[in-house]
Each structure stands twice: as structure tokens, then as C-alpha cells.
A and B are shown apart, each in its own frame.
Chain A
Amino acid sequence: MIDVARVDYWAANGSGPFHRASVLSKLLFLAFVVAAAVACRDPYPLAVGTGMLIVLAALAGLPWAVIGALSLYAAVFALLYAVSLRGDGWTYAVLLLKAVTPAYAVGMVIVSTPYPKIFSFLSAFLPEILAAGLFMTYRTLFILLDMMDNFGTAIRLRGGFSPGNIVKNSSNIAKGIGALLVRAVERSSRLYAVMVVRGYNGKMAETTVGAVGVHDWLPVGTGLAVLTTVLLWR
């Protein structure tokens, strides 16, 4: 899994043109790039589109190389899928770019938009339980990742990890996950109590669609440019 804490830091602390754009414009940008990937059956326009995204990310001060590395995660599985299709080099190129291009666009959105802002936008359209669940999951994920890190260190220090002994390792990992789950539930119960004290009434998500501003031309324009490139190439 990607380093959520680092992504969160970039999203919250950046001040480039992409950061200043509204959530709506960035989701539109994402929709255009995904539409381009769906419509495309040729690797060249998608390669051009990916190149445009990389240049934009670099110019906007986003961590373009890290986003590239993150997008390769999707490429690994696309490659496996391509192998199962037994296609030729052309097929491999199309599938890889179909995976990498939207993944790069998602990377650009998440490193420039704090998750709470995205959830806040989605909350306007999603049922309350989903919106609140997304916020709670996001909040708990950091706690769990931290606890998981500590658990990994503890299991090694206490000799609970033996390379080659799958049964022992599985048993210890399962107990660790169980302990993690129990502790996380206890923490969430405390969090719930705190929320109730602070007036939680079942509606915790701020629902803001946000206004369209002057900075929105960049993501919307880029998304449209990628989609237009793909459509014209056909």
C-alpha cells in the first residue's frame, strides 16, 4: 500500500496551481482521463497523454516521479492480465498505458487534495453512512498503520517471525491482526464516546460541493486535452 501519510502531507502542504483548484475540477479532470483510457485502443495517444500529465505535474510542483512510481503499482497487475490474454507487444503497451494513465491522474489528484476535502465533496451525493464511514476509515487507517508498524517491530524483536516456518508465522500474524482489531475497536469506541460528548448526532461529514474558481482551468483543460488527443487520434 502506498504511504498514505506522505500523500496526506503533500496534499495538505502544497500551494501549487493544482492545489488551488477545486475538488470538482480535479474530479472532472480524473473523469476525462479515465474516459480517454476507456476510449483508447492505441498506445500512442495514451503515451502522449501520460507525457502531458507528467509535464503538468512537474510544472505544478507535484512530486511527479513519486506519482509515476505509485502508478506503476497498477502496471504490475495490468501486465499480469496482459500475460493471461496472450497478446502481442501492442496489446501489452495498450494495457499498460490504460492502467498507468488513469493511475497517474489519480496520483495527481490525491497528492494535491486532502482526503477530507474529497470525502466532503462526495458526501453531497453519497448516503450519510457511507460518507461518515469514509471519514472514519480514513481516520482509523493512520492509527492502524502506526499500530501495524509497531507490531512488525515487536514480532521481530520477540522472535515471533521465523523465515521458512509458515505455520508459526501465520499463527503469529493472525494473533497480531486479532489484537490489532480488538485494540482498534476499543479505540473506535473511545472515539465514538468523544464524538457523542462533542455533540455528534449521526451526521459528521461536512458536505461541501465547493465553487468553481479561476484555478480550475488547469485540471479541466488538461483532462480535456488528454481526452481530445485520444479522440482525434482515432
Chain B
Amino acid sequence: MVESLLEVKNLSMHYDTLDGNVDAVKDISFTVKSGESFGLVGESGCGKTSVAMTLLQLQPDNSVITEGSIKLDGKELIGLSENELRKVRWDSVSIVFQGAMNAWNPVVKIGEQIREAMREHYPENSKQQNINKINELFKMVGLDESISERFPHELSGGMKQRAVIALALSCDPKLIIADEPTTALDVVIQDQILNEIKKVQDLLGLSLIYISHDIAVIAEMTDKIAVMYAGSIVEIGPTQEVFKSPKHSYTRALLDSTPSIRGEKKKLRSLDGEPPSLINKIDGCSFSPRCPTPTTQCKNQSIEMRLVKVGDDHFADQCCSGCVKNE
């Protein structure tokens, strides 16, 4: 039995805004084992990135964690001081942000920017040691050593994103959070980056949390997925199982709206309506207004959101788990 590296329990977080509280993360629990890839999928605004930020305790100042715990390697992260957190970030967890390739400092060479992080975490290393390590990392992600001496504007988007991955790996983390790392890239570059992430992950035995709205990418990258809707996880389980027999009608809708180049060309179904505003308190099932196959119990909104077991290690929200009919 592999031990859980990351254990998130009943995590809830809201943003305090002038218009009221925005419940971005609602009672979320999941675990990531070492070496496992965990996918987080959902529409924009469903709280994926908020979860990622909260995991690293990088959430903005107006956010309030109302309850829950985040345990990394058995150590509670919520409530740690900034100094203690600095040790955890990069050493244990690092993150590849959405559009991270645009986060490079334009006037500092790539190699120096990576060394800056390494100096912080490994003050005892000599410069040469750091350079050697960077060269090794570059080789892993398919970059030439000479890239260290280049400025960000000299690199293409794909190269910058590879360098970001090298940067994320520079302090030997056990867990990498990749938040839409390929969104701004075209398909061929995306494919190369995905390949690189997978290779590195296997090589170093890392755990991965992969966040995306693209269910096809999630299908290829992950062992286990959680589908998020309006701040809650509505379905969670092994990727193959969830794709084979989705139990929540939102998962079903996501699968039905994804075009594929394999198999019969099928009529895709769109999901009408918009996700609910997270400012208003939602009673009952948050998906019921958009659900294509609602039952009477969803409509009267009496039933509470709660995950129930629907298969081996496979859980879905109790309301919608009854709505889906799989052909």
C-alpha cells in the first residue's frame, strides 16, 4: 500500500468581497499517493485554481479558509508561518502556473533565475553544483544547456514552458501542481510538454496534480480524477472508471461535449446555461438548473450535496448520481 503524500480534508475557502462572500472551495477532500497523477477538471470559475493556490497557501489576502486541513507528508500546512511555508514550497511542492512562461523576469537570464531559487533552498551548494543540476534538468525536459544563458524573450513559448518545468523541478519536490500548463500552446507543443511532464514524473517518481478544463488531456495524464463544479467536487474516482461509467450528469455532459478524432463521429451535446454565481448560497444540487436529465428530487432542491460511494474508490454527488443513464 502506497502512503498518501497529500491529504486534503473538508477544505472550504471563500473570498471576502464587497458584494459578499464568494464560496470558491466547498468542502473538498481528496488524497494523492506518491507517484500518482491526480486530475482536477471543470469549467473556468469552478474553483480549480483556488484549490491549487490553497494547497500551497498562496491564496490572495481576501480569502478565508473556514475549515479543513491540508496534510503534506503528514504535516499540516494550514496555519504555518510564512517562513515555514517557504521551506515547504519548492522543497516539497512546486507549481507550474497557467501562463507561467510569461512569469519569467525579462531582464535576468533563465539560468540565473533558476539558480536564485536553488540558492534560497540549498545555500550550501556551490554555483557549479547548481549549474550542473540545471543542465541535468534541462536535458530531462528536452532543452539545450545553452538556454541557461539566454533571456526569456529569446525563447519560444514552448521552450519557456519547458524551462518553467525545469524550474519547478529544481528543488527536488515530491509533488508538482500543474495548473493548465499547456493552455496557451498549440497542439504539437502541448503534446511535447505533456510527454515531457509524464517522462519526468516517471523518472523521478513524482506525484502530480494536473489541473485542466480539457478532459482529453486529463484522460491521458492522470490515474485519478476529480470533477469540480461550482466549488465542489461532484465526482471523484479512478480515471478509467469515471470515463467508462460517469455517474454525475455534469461529468457525463463534459464527456459528451468533447470532440475526438478517434472513433465514430458523434453528435456532441452542449451544456446549456451557465455555472451559478458562487456569491449566492446554493441550496441543494448546484447543477440541477443545467442538468439535462433532472429527477424530481433535484428540482425541489431538498437534497444536500454529499458524495456517496458508487463504485470501487469511485464517489459521486448523491443527487445527480441517480440522474445519469449510461448507454
Question: Is A bound to B?
Answer: no
